[in-house]
């Protein structure tokens, strides 16, 4: 067993999922990544990118067309029943019976696990004033989310899986959810794998990020590296615009997006470093070049939210459209 495998809590390798008659519609195509022990891995993607299919395969709920999904270095599909005892799950939609109280939900969960942190569960709900004697169906969305998180953490899982847990919550409830999650992570060192649309909420806690686009993993890196290497660059380029060849001055960068503006060019690059940027600033025709940091949401939109940068012909057409 390699060191990487030993440290892995969850992983997929060349994972492919297909739907439709004869499997002609791929939902995932050859996806590979690893969730290291102790990390907080955020999986991002637009609706239809393949997040749900990947989540089902990882949890052993769906058999992939090819490739593998593993938990604790064991095949998820073959060993699901045993592996679930080591995992806590917060689904996208709370699935507790609406007539059961939180106290009854926890009583049911306690019977499923060899160990149960009853005091920790009660303390968590008390901090957020979630009543344990009220029917689950009568709780607010934020209260339901806290109940589901408490139930998922009650048996002190090694891996916590969150499927868009703050969907539909108001800003106050989202903030409370992630603050509680941060506290538990600090206390327990639990590994977390989450799929989410709440980029602002997870930016401060995720240690690694993956982005799915049309069933393919287009980014997989440490959050610190992602934030360091993505930059938005603004500059004027009188010479290249006049020649209808704007964007060629960016050849030293990997441009995720390039746009002609009335005042010049805006580019998002994914391999920024100061030495390359200084060389770029000295190029003929480049003026007033500035580079600015980007939020995770801005990076996501540049990578997965829009079409790839145009080729030379597309650049010329874009310039004509922007300057006409």
Q: What is the pLDDT of residue 245?
A: 53
pTM of the model: 0.86
CATH numeric code, 230-323: 3.30.70
**What's the Cα-to-Cα distance from 37 to each of 5, 140, 160, 191, 237, rounded to whole Å?**
10, 33, 11, 6, 47
Query: Residues, the chain, total?
Result: 324
- Whether residue 270 has pLDDT greater than 70: yes
The 10s digit of each residue's pLDDT in 190-213 is 899 999 888 988 998 899 999 999
Q: Which residues of 97-112 are buried (b: 16+ CB within 10 A; e: fewer)?
A: eeeebbebbbeebbee
Q: What is the C-alpha to C-alpha distance for residues 310 and 31, in angstroms, rounded to an integer? A: 26
CATH T-level fold of 34-59+78-209: Rossmann fold (3.40.50)
Q: Which residues pair with 28 in a beta bridge?
A: 17
- Which residues does 286 contact at the CB level (< 8 Å), separation at least 6? 235, 236, 237, 249, 280
Q: Which residues of 16-38 are buried (b: 16+ CB within 10 A; e: fewer)?
A: bbbeeeeeeebbbbebebbbbbe
Q: What is the pLDDT of residue 315?
A: 38
The 10s digit of each residue's pLDDT in 217-245 is 999 999 999 999 999 999 987 655 554 45
Mean of pLDDT over the chain:
85
Domain layout of the chain by residue ranges = 34-59+78-209, 230-323
Secondary structure class of 270 (helix, strand, coil): coil
Secondary structure (DSSP) of 62-77: S--SEEEEEETTEETT
């Amino acid at each position: 067993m390699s060191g990487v495998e030993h440290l892995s809590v969850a992983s997929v390798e060349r994972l492919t999922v297909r739907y439709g008659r004869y499997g002609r519609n791929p939902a995932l195509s050859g996806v590979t990544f690893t969730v290291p022990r102790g990390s907080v891995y955020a999986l991002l993607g637009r609706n239809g990118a393949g997040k749900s299919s990947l989540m089902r395969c990882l949890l052993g709920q769906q058999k992939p067309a090819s490739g593998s999904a593993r938990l604790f270095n064991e095949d998820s599909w073959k060993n699901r029943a045993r592996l679930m005892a080591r995992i806590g799950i917060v689904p996208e939609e709370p699935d507790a019976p609406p007539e059961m109280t939180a106290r009854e939900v926890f009583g049911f969960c306690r019977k499923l696990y060899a160990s149960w942190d009853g005091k920790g569960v009660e303390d968590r709900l008390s901090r957020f004033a979630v009543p344990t004697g009220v029917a689950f169906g009568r709780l607010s969305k934020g209260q339901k989310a806290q109940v589901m998180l408490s139930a998922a953490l009650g048996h002190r899982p090694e891996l916590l899986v969150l499927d868009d847990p703050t969907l539909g919550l108001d800003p106050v409830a989202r903030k409370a959810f992630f603050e509680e999650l941060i506290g538990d992570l600090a206390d327990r060192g639990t590994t977390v794998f989450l799929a989410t649309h709440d980029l602002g909420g997870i930016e401060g806690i995720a240690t690694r990020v993956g982005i799915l686009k049309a069933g393919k993993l287009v980014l997989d890196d440490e959050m610190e590296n992602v934030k360091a290497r993505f930059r938005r660059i603004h500059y004027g380029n009188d010479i290249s615009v006049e020649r209808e060849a704007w964007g060629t001055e960016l050849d030293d960068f990997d441009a995720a997006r390039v746009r002609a503006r009335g005042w010049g060019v805006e580019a998002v690059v994914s391999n920024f470093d100061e030495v390359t940027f200084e060389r770029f600033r000295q190029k003929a025709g480049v003026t007033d070049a500035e580079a600015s940091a980007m939020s995770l949401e801005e990076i996501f939109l540049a990578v997965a939210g829009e079409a790839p940068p145009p080729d030379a012909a597309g650049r010329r057409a874009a310039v004509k459209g922007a300057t006409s």
